[in-house]
A and B are shown apart, each in its own frame.
Chain A
Amino acid sequence: MSTAEGVADERLASSSVLRRLLVRPELGALIGAVVVFVFFAVLSPTFRSPAGIANWLDPASTLGIMAVAVALLMIGGEFDLSAGVLTGTTGLAVTIIATRFGLNVWLAVAISLVLALVVGLFNGLLVVRTGLPSFIVTLGSYLVLQGLNLGVTKVLTGNVLVGGLVGRHGFSSAHLVFSSSVVLGGTYFKVSIVWWLVLTALATVVLLRTRFGNWVFAVGGDQVAARNVGVPAARTKVLLFLTTATAAWLVGTITALRNTSAQADAGVGDELTFIVAAVIGGCLLTGGFGSAIGATFGALIFGMTSVGIVYAGWDADWYKLFLGAMLLLAVFANRLVRRYAERRRG
């Protein structure tokens, strides 16, 4: 034991810079994003034009908002499978309340937020109180919400598509805040990109430079150890579920105001995309490790790929294959990093 220890020590000392770089969770996603950008930029001039960039930043932004929130939750050791369908629920709530009940759009947006927080609180409390895996608990709320979205929408509107937001009280100002475009050098960029970047920065500061952020890593890394040193583990987790719910509300609102309508099956299946983006961004499925910036790079890879494939003149069917390969690569790389980071010297 003692001889092996001495050898390992020397080797570690010489490679500590590499080691530090490798344990940065977002490094892989950053490299991936650069590779994907260069790849499509070489293939398609449109892809690298300002209008093209604005085009792929748009899907990256709404996905990115969700991926960042889901990344925080995953670092805290939990999943939220209801996050995708909740973007549909919140969008439907805004649209139905504003059009069928005739309330001001801002009021509809506020009520939608309350609904989202109720769902987040339900998920969070159920997980921390019962100790059941969040995978199962949120799978349940995912199915419940999916049923509610379809059922309630059909009962109230007789349709699966609710439209007619345009011209409602407060629509234009709400649209300006959530779904307008910003002109930059003659190119229109969606305002959701600003939301996304601001939230990424905010999440990064919270994670790395606040007490709460330290607790997030701790409850995901080892909940019992965290509790033993006085971390309020249950409160931390519930707050993380409220965060993903709030992000879902933001994305649902952005989408509904942009489309001026909402679809009853919106957001179904997106929950896995959020998780994939977070994992590509360096989040471990086992919790305790990951980054908000990484999740943003993961979302960027998704946005660039979905739009780049079209620009390159390929069939969009290849998109999923490409992402599947990215995911496997990311998980494999993450596992190596974790092994490396966790390896003990003694």
Chain B
Amino acid sequence: MSDHDGGPERSDVPEVPVQATPGVSGGGAPLLAVESVSKYFGSVIALSEVSTSARAGEVTCVLGDNGAGKSTFIKMLAGVHRPDRGGIWLDGTRVEFGSPREALDAGIATVYQDLAVVPLMSVWRNFFLGAEPRRRFGPVSLFDVAAARRITREQLAAMGIDVRDTDQPVGTLSGGERQAVAIARAVYFGARVLILDEPTSALGVKQAGVVLRYIAAARDRGLAVVFITHNPHHAYPIGDRFLLLNRGRSMGDFGKDEIDQAELTRLMAGGAELEELAHELARTDGAAPPDSGARASRLLAEDADELGRE
């Protein structure tokens, strides 16, 4: 916990050991600090004592297999769930969100994979949905459609998103473009922390690359990005910090200088379990090369990746 200089007040944190993250320095206090949070659904331990942090202008990746607790983790940041133990600090102040609205008002915006937009509505209507700009016309105040169209076009352009026609229904955009619209919206409405739940997992290689570029654009505009994925190949190039979850437990919270891509991939793919599996496979195969463990794990990780896409 000593690495969170100027971070959460120690007295508020339950007396539990926290994942040590030696060697992490980073500039100043993190914008968002999560300390030993746990979440139980009845007898199910969805999360147990997980900690990480996110700094402005950096990307924190949350990695884990299906059911690892990634969504549960970000739902606590987004105000959907309250942590049963542990706490969340924003700018060094402890925060407790009673609703998604409160998290949003505090500057934490969440882009859910499929629930971010209404497909039949135009890009600009979606962009301002729930926060429509209004203008008085005599006695009535109307939706300022001209401003909405203009700002949408400007904001998308500023993020490097080329949507030819903001009047087209969002459903006609590609999956990557829809994510991009949701990201641009969060940035425009003043989010300081941007949470993305598996924005790339339903996308093909090319589209995923496009979304990663928008994540970088949001990061470069000074947001702290929390990027959820189960794909280490998406996480490693863009991440500054990596939280690995497995069955609700943290397998580590690493700075980029503490872990390389191969190790990240190995941990993600189940490490030892997979090596065992690889040996089994090698025996039936009869002629496996010595590095079959790593190869099998890579192949299986790719398979998991394939399955993740519809």
Interface residue ranges, A against B (CB under 8 Å) = 1-2, 5, 13, 16, 19-20, 23, 205, 208-211, 213-215, 217-218, 221-222, 224-226, 228-231, 288-289, 338, 341-346
Contact = CB atoms under 8 A, between A and B. Distances in A.
A13 B165 CA distance: 10
B299 interface: no
Interface of B: 100-101, 104, 112, 115-121, 125, 128-132, 134, 142-143, 145, 164-165, 167-169, 171-177, 203-204, 206-207
Contacts of A224: 115
Contacts of A225: 115-118
B169 A209 contact: no
Contacts of A345: 172-174
A105 B202 CA distance: 63
B104 A344 contact: no
B173 A214 contact: no
Given A214-B143, A217-B125, A230 B119 contact: no
A289 B120 CA distance: 7
Nearest to A288: B120
B129 A214 contact: yes
B151 to A, nearest CB: 15
Tell me the dominant secondary structure on chain B's binding face.
Answer: loop
A209 B145 contact: yes
Contacts of A228: 100, 112, 115-116
Tell me the dominant secondary structure on chain A's binding face.
Answer: helix
B164 A13 contact: yes
A5 B117 CA distance: 22
A200 B186 CA distance: 35
A13 B176 CA distance: 19
Nearest to B144: A209
Nearest to B117: A225
Contacts of B100: 228
Contacts of B143: 209-211, 213-214
B86 to A, nearest CB: 25
Contacts of A230: 101, 104, 130-131
B121 A217 contact: yes
Contacts of B129: 214-215, 218, 226, 229, 231
Nearest to B206: A2
B116, B165, B169, most chain A CB atoms within 10 A: B169
Contact of B132 (A13, A205, A211, A341): A211
